[in-house]
Structure 1
Amino acid sequence: MVIGNIKTLFTTAILSSGLLFSPSGTNLFAAGLLDSLTKLAPIEITAVTAPSAPVSALIPFKSAPALKAYFVSVGQGDCEYIELPNGKNVLIDGGPNPTAPLVQFLSQRNITKIDYVVLTHPHLDHYSGLEYVFSHLQVGNFYDTREDNTGASGIKALRAKITAIGVNVVYPAAGDNLDWDPGEVQVKVLNSCSTPGESNSGTVLNNCSIVLKVSYHNTSILYTGDIESDMETTLVSAYGSQLQADVLKIGHHGSNTASSAAFLNTVKPKTAYIEVGAGNIFAFPAQTTLSNLQAVGATVYRSDLSGTQEYTISGD
């Protein structure tokens, strides 16, 4: 071993109680130290040099977990699923079918528990698939709007079931920050009808949609439910540049009642997902919506053409 200008020979003694180092030439037997000696071997260590790279560079780097967002193809309806970096998960809406294809999506991934379920608003094409979730999966928390859909027996039955099984129900308000992954993921509520109400107006119910902005590592996703252009205008006035997001879940399935040029110019999405059924009777997405998205340079994915899509935000 070279320490400064001193070279020393060592003999390594491996004892049953551990390792013993002694300068070469020491009489270990005479010293009475080798009663339990199992092996003795001379080793000459000629040099110890500093590593050529910083110590930090030699430590394996472990990437932070990613956030994975899925835009689930459920036909003419909405359904989104999120895997958070902390291992918890989120389901936003459940689509129009109580048995499929959400069931298939969950089964393929062996998902038996949902930590956070969000119903953006009480329209059948958003809540019907949740009937399966609350009947067959363990659910930690349910986020709901207080606006009720007059005469819609399905949502009344679903909400009654959720209460009966004891799931924690949360009514978020605009401005709330949700602690789904504290310190890592920011989840901000931008819109919600948090005071009790009831309506059979499609526009009123759509504009009560819970709107969420999910941000992780300087990348964000804006989930808009079915908000229409008048609510988009309200959000632009309230939040301005805070609406900017890398990814936009297009409101109201690409209808011409949403995705106004002013809203898209404020959000400035790089990627947009339209959840729409193939050959739907509404002829969604509207050409106006597609043109507005093209004008802001967004890459567009449609569930009727491409099926379920995944968007990953790296933890690096």
Structure 2
Amino acid sequence: MKNFFFSNTIFHYALIFTFLSNSLSIQAQEIRLFPPSNWNVVTFKSTVQPEFNLSQYNTIIIANLSNDRNWRSSIESRDIHDKISNEIFNIPGINVLDRNVTKKLLKELEFQSSGLVDTRFIEKLGQFYSAGVLLVGRIQNSDFQSYLVKTSTIYRSSCGNPSYRKAIYSLSFSFKLIDIRTTKLIYSNTISISGEKRTKAECSPSKISKQDLYPEVLDELGKEFKNLFTIHEVSVDVRFQKNRKFNDRLRQAVTYMKVGELENAYNILKSIMGNQTNKKALSSSLYNLAAFELHTNRQNIAYENAKRGYILNSKNKGCLEIVKLFQ
């Protein structure tokens, strides 16, 4: 009888343990499948004007691009040349001189692809074209790094703590535009793009090559280049600061933002700010107001509110970031 009671007790404990294990497993799956909502994040879209009006020039001539180091592959120079040529070609009203014609012309005029442009060469070029631009570019940086990262998980595999491989590829391209009629520098800029990739954590993580990241980085560079000369739309995710003193009202404001009722959202944000007495809560409410104003064409007010918020709480880095945009 005693043995039966003991066995029965063990059986019941086993059932309870199994139930709890399954329950925890289900909860863990739910957390993975349904992560906490970023309800305080709103995506704003805005139209950005071009930095430079390239369409005022009839023709653009793209010289062969140079590298800062001789050992770098000429393939990068060719790829970037082709990428920016294609992007310019898609800008209405601009004629991109064919690459073969450009190569022949620059050779005849004894152009040296060193980044240093002799004004006498520009004057010769101006004899061929009454209005146009010469683009001289240089690859300043092309760096690929790949390394292993050990995980610190408590669940060890047969090889101990598994590792994952992480790779980063950075590409930096500087260029200048020279008016071939006046031989003057009219615009210059540097575009820096980086991309990264990581593998799954396992005993023998697969390798990542530069080619795995190169096409994506090259496409992004071309996009950034074109955006300098065209009207384009950008999307920015704004994370509004939460505080238990006003979270319910902030949820209402965020809901209005997501359905396009911006004035209602703005009025709620202003009322939240007006009802705060705690310095930290007031600073966060001022950041929320400034972040909203920054992306709804109220930049002057945004600066003042962000500055007030930072003065109230010097640990509010969000306010400081907005202030720095205006300095």
Q: TM-score, normalised by structure 2?
A: 0.19
Q: TM-score, normalised by structure 1?
A: 0.19
Q: From the two aligned structures, give the one with the greater helix fraction.
A: 2
Q: From the two aligned structures, give the one with the greater strand fraction.
A: 1
